[in-house]
Amino acid sequence: MPAMTKRKHKDAAVADMPMLTRLAALKRMSVRELKAEWEALFNTPAPNNSRGYLEMRLAWRIQELTLGGLSRETRKVLDLLADEIDGTSDRKAIIADPRNPVIGTRLVREWGGIEHTVTVMQDGFDWQGRRFKSLSATARAITGSNWNGYRFFGLREARKGDR
């Protein structure tokens, strides 16, 4: 995760408190104090008077400043997803799972004495002319029970408790 620049808090005693102490202190603050804390941490006026919202966002910000924020890659993925939802993206961004094989790859697995071939597509997986959004859904269609699709097709090692 990228290093975060810590901002100076107006009250040095508050800024030096351990993160968990600061988080617990949010519950004891009045809405007025929460709004003041907001201004100190975000350098903008608080957007509303909702105690729950202020506590939640302040808790996030305190942790972000202490532990670091989202990685650049995570922010990029979230921005792309938001653009897709808003319809502001010029192109349809398809965010593929990096664990998936290259498009066009054929995965072959024997199950129940039958050889099953699954083709990796841009938008999912094809098995017997049927489209699936995930390998797990494909494995479920083949076996009739829930499987980790990556494990079923031998793309990752089994972990304790996996099936």
Nearest partner of 141 among 121, 112, 162, judged by Cα: 112
Q: What's the pLDDT at 103?
A: 84
User: Does residue 150 have a pLDDT over 50?
Assistant: yes
Phi/psi of residue 84, each to 5°?
Answer: -65, -45
Better-scored residue on pLDDT, 96 or 47: 47
User: Does residue 145 have a pLDDT over 80?
Assistant: yes
DSSP 9: P
Give the residue extent of every domain in the chain.
1-95, 96-163
Q: What's the pLDDT at 55?
A: 95
Is the entire prediction scored with pTM above 0.75?
A: no
Average pLDDT over residues 140-155: 93
Query: CB of 111 within 8 A of CB of 99?
Result: no
SS3 at position 89 = coil
Q: Which of these ranges, 75-79, 151-155, 158-162, has the smallest mean pLDDT?
A: 158-162
Residue 41 exposed, middle or buried by CB count within 10 Å (0-12, 13-18, 19+): buried
